[in-house]
Amino acid sequence: MAVSEEFKNRLGKLSTKLVEEPATLPMQKVEPVQQVQKKSVEEPEEEITQFNVKIPATLMKKIKLKAVEQDINIKDMVAQILIDHFKNL
């Protein structure tokens, strides 16, 4: 297959243009993300231990939804509920 002279000329002009002209790339503006303070239960001075319970799936869904609404993790939410419960006894 023979390459036409017109194609060679166009290719030559393109390579010259790429070398001579600076690249014009869009610059992205970078802004720092602001940190959000999350609510959390004050960590007691005591040793932390694991606590596992089996609960109905519907109750777990309610707990997860409430934790998201209050922007708190489930561990802190359950700990606060238990602390409040035992204060009232």
Do 41 and 80 contact (CB within 8 A), yes or no? Answer: yes
Q: What's the whole-model pTM score?
A: 0.47
**d(Cα 69, Cα 6) in Å, to the nearest integer?**
66
Q: ∠64-51-84 over CA atoms, to 5°?
A: 70
Q: Would you give per-residue pLDDT tens digits along the chain (89 residues)? A: 567 888 888 888 887 877 777 777 777 888 888 876 666 666 657 788 899 999 999 999 999 999 999 999 999 999 999 999 999 88
Asked whether residue 25 is domain-assigned, the answer is no
> Looking at the 3D structure of the chain, how many domains does it have?
1
Does residue 11 belong to any structural domain of this protein? no
Residue-number span of the structural domain to which 85 is assigned: 50-89
